Amino acid sequence: MTKVFTFLLFLLMITHVACDGSNDSGQEIKKEEEQEQEKEPEKGVDVSFAEYALEETSCQWVNLHSKDDPCGHYNLLVIDCNEVLEDYIEGTDYPAIDFSKQTLLLAYGIECSGSYLDSVSLQQLSEQNYVMTVHLRMTIAAEISEWEAAIVVDKLDVESKVELNITNK
């Protein structure tokens, strides 16, 4: 009888250890999945916009790039009035923006290796937080290149914050 009792006790201990081991590994997997989710960038809702271009005008962007700016220098301007826009455009036949209903987001930067603007996207993360992503396409040219990306969106609230994200393909 004691041999049977000892055997049953032994089986019970093995079962308990096996169950605890599987729980620990399950928790480890769950923790790893949680860490991976934390590493992923926050996703939002795509926001519609219109690209703002000066190509078919006699205007050009000014006061954006400085010869002292290092490669990899990026900036984003949130422009809500004509007076500010005129500080960054040379010429007068630029496309009109109704700043009572719209906001201009103007991103620009300098790359050490050749690159050009591939695409732009805008996502709303929360009521007042946005991310403008500029996708650059790398070239084989070894030259410093300047780029600008301008989009017009529905009027943003004064408290809104727009983060700039740059990707290189």
At 127-161, the pLDDT tens digits run 999 999 999 988 877 778 889 999 999 999 999 99
Q: Are 27 and 62 found together in one domain? A: no
Q: What integer pLDDT is reported at residue 29 of this predicted model?
A: 43
At residue 81, φ and ψ (nearest 5 deg) are -155, 155
**Tokens at residue 52, please?**
């703002």
Structural domains in the chain (count): 2
Q: Are 64 and 83 found together in one domain? A: yes
The answer to whether residue 60 scores a pLDDT higher than 50 is yes
Q: Are 14 and 62 found together in one domain? A: no
The answer to whether residue 38 scores a pLDDT higher than 50 is no
The pTM (predicted TM-score) of the whole model is: 0.72
Strand 60-61 versus strand 115-126 pairing type: unpaired
Q: Are 50 and 34 found together in one domain? A: no
Q: Return the minimum-mean-pLDDT range out of 61-65, 111-115, 148-152.
A: 111-115
Q: Are 35 and 63 found together in one domain? A: no
Q: Are 61 and 126 found together in one domain? A: yes
What is the pLDDT confidence band of residue 64, given thresholds at 50, 70 and 90? very high
More confident residue, 10 or 61: 61
The answer to whether residue 9 scores a pLDDT higher than 70 is no
Q: Are 73 and 128 found together in one domain? A: yes
CA pair distance 85, 100, nearest whole angstrom: 14
Q: Are 90 and 53 found together in one domain? A: yes
At residue 57, φ and ψ (nearest 5 deg) are -125, 175
Q: Are 29 and 99 found together in one domain? A: no
**Domain ranges, residue 69:** 45-168
Q: What integer pLDDT is reported at residue 17 of this predicted model?
A: 46
More confident residue, 157 or 29: 157
